Chains A and B, each alone.
Chain A
Amino acid sequence: MGLALSVIVSGIAFGLLIGMLAFILVFLYKTTGVANFAVGNIGMFETFIVYELWKDGMGLWPAAGIGLVCSAVFGVLVYQVVLRPFGGGQANTLVRTVALFLLLAAMADVFFGRDQPYHFPSVLPGGGTKVGGVLLRWSDLITVGIVLVIVTGFVAMFRYTRTGLQFLAVAQRPETARLLGVRAQRLSTIAYMLAGCLALLIGLLLAPKQLLFSQMMNPILLFAFAAAVVGGFTSLAGTFVGGIIIGVATDLVSTYWGSDLTLASALAIMLLTLAVRPNGLFGTAQVRRL
């Protein structure tokens, strides 16, 4: 029982990371109309940059700081150079993100990946504490804290700032928002800037746990997609709930049944949710006019 509870706790912490990636996916989907397959690899590539800086003798925190700035710039570049020019509709943009996914993995392999995988120094303290026989790792608790802070920040932005309000408007009715004078491209640029930074954060939290290599984000990207679908793909809170569900379930499956079934179990949860509630747990059906 103690093992199960410990697994559940670490599953929740992992689930919040999944939820954060799912949140980025939904956030970008709502503001730019396309779910970005490359988000995970953007985080991976940025983490590599931080790693290179650290390896060259820089302190971890300054390296992370510089990495954050790079990430913001990187996010803007992704939108302005890859996604925006000669806009070709939803399918075309989707393929662009997929091509970017491949490109970043290949770039990481060519530029940084000679001896991958690498051990990444932990940003967070090791060890933990026991509460009633359940092991609580400091890193997990801090992860939970970080995610809570970020969520609060976003909620505050959506509620109290003009930009946040514009994001909500674009998410609800993109055309109307545009007609009302919301500068959609500016918003998309900001969205990608934020997404770049969050992606780095996920990379930094994930890399110490599971080594740093070019394919490191593939599983969590899939989990995040599952979480977003389970959560409803329109609800921001839903993504975190979905993330926790996926995180805990896959952690339990891999502990008790074997790790080759983790992805399959996430897929199963996703399909099951869609079978029972086609719009996810928190989503609402969209009415289309004929």
Chain B
Amino acid sequence: MLTRARDDVGRPALLLLLLLALAPLVVTGVSDQGILVVAMIYAVGAVGLDVLTGYSGQFSFGQFVYFAIGAYVMAAVRVHAHWPWVPAIIAGVLAAALVAAVIGSLFVRLRFFGSAVGTFFLGAVAVDLISGSRLSHWTGGSNGLAVLPVTIGDHSLSEGDWLYYTVWIALALSVALCLRYTKVRAGMAARVVKENEVVAAVLGVRVFREKVRAQALAGAVAGLGGCMLALDVGYLSPDTFGISQSIELFAIVAVGGTGSIVGPVLGAVFFFSLVNGFASTSASASQLLFSLVVLAVVVLFNRGLYDLVEQGVRKLLALRGKGVPVAEPAAGPEAQAAPAASSGPAAVAGHPAPAVRTEVRPREARPVPQGPPLLLLEDIGVDFGGVRALGGVDLSVARGEVHAIIGPNGAGKTTLLNCISGIQPATGRVVLDGDDVTALPVSVRRARGISRTFQHPSLVADLTARQNVEVGAYATHDGSVLLEMAGLPVTRKRDRVARERALAALELLDFPKSRWDVHAGELTMGEQKHIDIARALANEPELLLLDEPTAGLGEEEIGAVAGAIEGVRRAGVTVLVIAHHVGFVRRIADRCTVLDFGRVLTSGTAADVLTDDQVVDVFVGAGGKS
């Protein structure tokens, strides 16, 4: 269900909105139109919830809290402060966004489960507070609060076509806002956060901030939904905003399909028409039908309605254009690519693999680079609850060299890289280019020029190869999301720079152009490792840390990675690489450090180290020698 997020839903969204705009021509009954109005009101908030869930990987089972805030603030400032309705709605939306940001920042540290429970809780608490006596001079307590009529000229916005199209405009706004969010940097960054927070942090993404932004956006549109609900019902009472409604909203998103923006709208319309069509007799009977259908859909089609429609349309297109390739590059058919991803080297042969450079440079002829070291580690120590992962490691990496770290499993190689990139707190000192960076956080170290890759390349599966690299290409992920969404020249320039840097990185690594716009989930392991390196490289680092770039690759792919690393070194980047493959190390490394049980065993030129008796012992094992 949380598998795929889409950023190519603009046209389907437009189509659905158009259909909804035309619906009153066909759906003429007052009560039927009323059902569509309620569906659209839920959809206004559901779209925001999809941004939260499908794109930033967070949960909320309490989204009606923000509906309540929007509705109550709008109604209260009109009753108590006599505001006109336009500023009142704006106040409602802003209040909801603000509270969502505050509450979101409290809940961000809770993970998957915690945020589900926390928001669920919040929903219940909010109802208590609204109906309680403490806020009753504002909210009217359990008596409720009347919504003053909203009019344009003689027309009341609370009934008939005027109500319908007011709500429609709110929905269109909400959809447009959320679609825009998925297209800009913030939306892409949020998807990296959803995939893996640590990786996101290493790429310079402000994890906390991006999550709170998604919360605020979801809260804002929920607030707008609340204002629309206020227009529709005319009288606010605490029961309208209970936890059941919050859960229904989540169910609507789940049923419509997360990560699609259009899906939740579809889900809302589907539900309200179905439930009201069949069971208008009693409230609890329609509840029963609602929950049964939710259950059936999440059990049987666990990717949601949008996915179902998408598959259907794709099949239709395929039928119509038999033999002609579907002219929609962004929506590459997964079914075809899936076997390619799993069939290993054969698949690589199908796509032009990165050019393998066959020339082997004479290692011995090159002097070890002189001058002050770029990276200096002094006495680095890490304990994992009694297990000494690293016990006083000293290491010096010269500017411009390729330095390999080898050692058996559990020697502490990855932990050492984590210490350098700032993910893992450690004792000792990390000195970069003469400056002590030990106390600096991940993002600052990245800005100082440290980039890294991971043993398992955590690419965002539903972003293309090129987009994955672009996320890594931003010099900084700071700045206002509102400016980004407005598309001001400043942020456009920033996007262009990132695109150019990503392009440069991909070209430097000779990554085949035909594979640039393929979703990362459909790339082979070798290609994913390449993209991971490109992503780290796109930030134009001084020091590139590579964690086992050859693990799990075949000989040919290893050759390609070695070629890529040589390209990186020619570009003047210093490389610290963890590797197991001796041939690979011999080919690329100037110097080599051997780790064993968290200590440096030996260090020297690759040729010397690899023939050292002690090292052979560690790798082959004592039994292998005797």
A interface residue numbers (CB < 8 A to B)? 29, 35, 37, 82, 85-86, 88-92, 94-96, 98-103, 105-107, 109-110, 113, 218-219, 222, 225-226, 229, 233, 258, 260-261, 263-264, 266-267, 270-271, 274, 278, 287-290
- Could you tell me the distance in whole angstroms from the C-beta of A118 to the nearest C-beta in chain B? 16
Q: Which of B77-85, B159-167, B287-295, B486-494 contacts A (4 or more CB under 8 A)?
A: B287-295
Closest 10 CB pairs of A and B: A88-B302, A260-B132, A102-B291, A109-B284, A103-B291, A106-B287, A106-B288, A92-B1, A99-B295, A99-B294
Q: Within 8 Å CB of B113, what residues of A?
A: 29, 35, 233
Q: Which residues of B contact A278 (CB under 8 A)?
A: 109
Find chain B residues with CB under 8 A from A263 CB.
Answer: 121, 124-125, 128
Chain B residues lying within 8 Å of A103, measured Cβ to Cβ, are 288, 291-292, 294-295
Complexed CA–CA distance, A29 and B114 (Å): 13
**With A218-B124, A290-B456 given, is the CB distance from A95 to B134 under 8 Å?**
no
Q: In residues 123-156 of chain B, which contact A (Cβ within 8 Å)?
A: 124-125, 128-129, 131-134
With most chain A CB atoms within 10 A of its CB, the pick from B243, B282, B288, B300 is B288
A289 to B454, CA, bound (A): 10
B342-385 interface bits toward A, Cβ cutoff 8 Å, 1 = contact, 0 = none: 00000000000000000000000000000000000000000010
Q: Is the CB of A95 within 8 A of B120?
A: no
- The yes or no answer to B2 lying at the interface (CB within 8 A) is yes
Partner of B128, one of A225, A264, A288: A264
Minimum CB–CB distance from B590 to chain A (whole Å) comes to 26
Name the A residues within 8 Å of B474 (CB-CB).
none
| Known contacts A95-B254, A260-B129: A102-B124 contact under CB 8 Å | no
| B173 close to A (CB within 8 Å) | no
Contacts A225-B121, A290-B198 aside, 5 further interface pairs with beta carbons under 8 A come to A92-B2, A92-B302, A95-B1, A102-B247, A110-B285
1/0 contact string of B417-429 vs chain A (CB within 8 Å): 0100001000000
Which residue from A86, A88, A261, A270 sits with its C-beta under 8 Å from B121? A270
Which B residues fall within an 8 A CB radius of A?
A: 1-3, 53, 59, 61, 106, 109-110, 112-114, 116-118, 120-122, 124-125, 128-129, 131-134, 198-199, 243-244, 247-248, 250-251, 254, 258, 282, 284-285, 287-288, 290-292, 294-295, 298-300, 302-303, 384, 414, 418, 423, 454-456, 547
Q: Select which of A37, A99, A219 is within 8 A of B298 by beta carbon.
A: A99
Minimal beta-carbon separation of B196 from chain A (angstroms): 8
Please give, as numbers and ranges, the residues of chain A lying within 8 Å of B109 by CB-CB distance: 274, 278
5 A-B pairs within 8 Å (CB atoms) are namely A91-B2, A92-B2, A102-B287, A103-B295, A222-B121
Residues of B within 8 A of A37 (CB): 120
Residue among A91, A94, A233 with most chain B CB within 10 A:
A91
In the complex the two chains form, is A86's CB within 8 Å of B299's CB?
A: yes
> Do residues B547 and A271 form an inter-chain contact, with CB atoms below 8 A?
no
Contact A101 B298 (CB under 8 A): no
Residues of A within 8 A of B131 (CB): 260
Contact between chains at B291 and A106 (CB < 8 Å): yes
Q: Are A102 and B120 in contact (CB under 8 A)?
A: no
**Residues in B whose Cβ lies below 8 Å from that of A229:** 114, 117
Q: A89-B1, A102-B291, A274-B114 given as contacts; is B125 within 8 A of A267 (CB)?
A: yes
Q: How distant is the Cα of A143 from the Cα of B300 in the complex, in angstroms? A: 41
Contact in complex: B547, A290 (CB < 8 Å):
yes
Contact A260-B134, Cβ < 8 Å, known A82-B299, A110-B285, A274-B110: yes
When C-beta atoms are compared, the residue in chain A nearest to B117 turns out to be A225
Does B198 contact A102, Cβ atoms closer than 8 Å?
A: no
Q: Please give me the residue from chain B that is nearest to A278 by CB atom.
A: B109
Which single residue of chain A is at the shortest CB-CB distance from B113? A35
A287 to B258 Cα, complex, angstroms: 29
B291 touching A95, Cβ below 8 Å = no
Chain B residues positioned under 8 Å from A106 (CB to CB) = 284, 287-288, 290-291
Contacts of B122 in A (CB 8 A): 267
| B1 and A91 within 8 A (CB) | yes
CB distance from B584 to the nearest CB of A (A): 21
- Chain A residue nearest to B283 (CB atoms) is A109
Within the complex, the shortest CB–CB distance from A267 to chain B, in Å, comes to 5
CB distance from A10 to the nearest CB of B (A): 21
Q: Is the CB of A107 within 8 A of B288?
A: yes
Inter-subunit contact B243/A218 (CB<8 Å): yes
Question: Hey, which chain A residues are within 8 Å of B243, CB to CB?
Answer: 218
Within the complex, the shortest CB–CB distance from B60 to chain A, in Å, comes to 12
B248, B282, B294, B303 interface centre (most CB from chain A within 10 Å) = B294
CB distance A226 to B121 under 8 Å? yes
What chain B residues lie within 8 Å of A219 (beta carbons)?
124
Contact call B414/A290, Cβ cutoff below 8 A: yes
Docked-complex contact B121 and A267, CB < 8 angstroms: yes
Chain A residue at minimum C-beta to C-beta distance from B458 = A290
